[in-house]
Amino acid sequence: DQQVKQNSPSLSVQEGRISILNCDYTNSMFDYFLWYKKYPAEGPTFLISISSIKDKNEDGRFTVFLNKSAKHLSLHIVPSQPGDSAVYFCAARNAGNNRKLIWGLGTSLAVNP
Amino acid sequence: NAGVMQNPRHLVRRRGQEARLRCSPMKGHSHVYWYRQLPEEGLKFMVYLQKENIIDESGMPKERFSAEFPKEGPSILRIQQVVRGDSAAYFCASSPTGSNSPLHFGNGTRLTVT
């Protein structure tokens, strides 16, 4: 029962272009969504988040879009840089559920110079 | 990842032994979470603790696993009588009080059961 789905295990993008990572969810009770980046042998690092009352949040090169009716969110990275190469995890929190996060399986992004 | 300290980074145990994983949260953080990542899978929630209290252990296996976060010292995740299926990366995260604070993760402990 995968409540948070990242259907693309991997993505390859040219440096300078846009990277778009997608995430779908099934639970309409999720009220908060986060993106984390993970390098090998390290823990996940928080990147950006969005509350369910918003449809867009931007932080520098990173923008997260939320489409509640479609239960879909996406992370845009523009311009992409080689240092962005990592595994990106989408996570969601169930409202009132002790802040327990439900995670997708991750998308491995490779940004080629 | 600066601030959340986990040790050891790598732990090898034979079947039947005990594994103890330690986590010191970021300074000022009073909430600790343990997550497990099995090979080829995402992170799975295990337990959420505050000082001296287990708030949510719904992700913990019912047997052999226990966690504590004492008044003094690090949080401990203890696995008794380890089996091969316990081999995974165990991540600890911490956060301050506040419902929308993102979690800060340590670099994990990779447990290998031989």
Owner of token pair 């509640």: A68
For chain B, give the longest Cα–Cα distance.
41
Within 10 angstroms of residue B66's Cβ, the number of other Cβ atoms is 15
Inter-chain touch A44–B58, beta carbons under 8 Å: no
Of residues B44, B56, B102, nearest to A98 (C-beta): B56
Kindly report, residue by residue over A24-42, the tens digit of the pLDDT.
Answer: 999 988 989 999 999 988 9
pLDDT of residue A23 exceeding 80, the answer is yes
Kindly report, residue by residue over A48-68, the tens digit of the pLDDT.
Answer: 999 999 999 999 999 999 999
Inter-chain touch B93–A43, beta carbons under 8 Å: yes
Residues near A83 by beta carbon (within 8 Å), at least 6 away in sequence: A111
Q: What is the mean pLDDT of each run of 10 residues along chain B (114 residues)?
A: 86 98 92 90 89 90 95 95 96 80 91 97
The answer to whether the Cα torsion of B4, B10, B14, B15 is positive or negative is positive
Instruction: For residue A103, list chain B residues with Cβ-Cβ distance below 8 A.
Output: 35, 42-44
Amino acid A9: pLDDT:
93
* A interface residues, B as partner, C-beta within 8 Å: 4, 32, 34, 36, 41-46, 49, 51, 89, 91, 98-106
Kindly report, residue by residue over A69-101, the tens digit of the pLDDT.
Answer: 999 999 999 999 999 999 999 999 877 665 678
CA distance B99 to B114: 40
Inform me whether the C-beta atom of residue B39 falls under 8 Å from chain A C-beta atoms: no
Amino acid B112: pLDDT:
97
Amino acid B1: pLDDT:
45
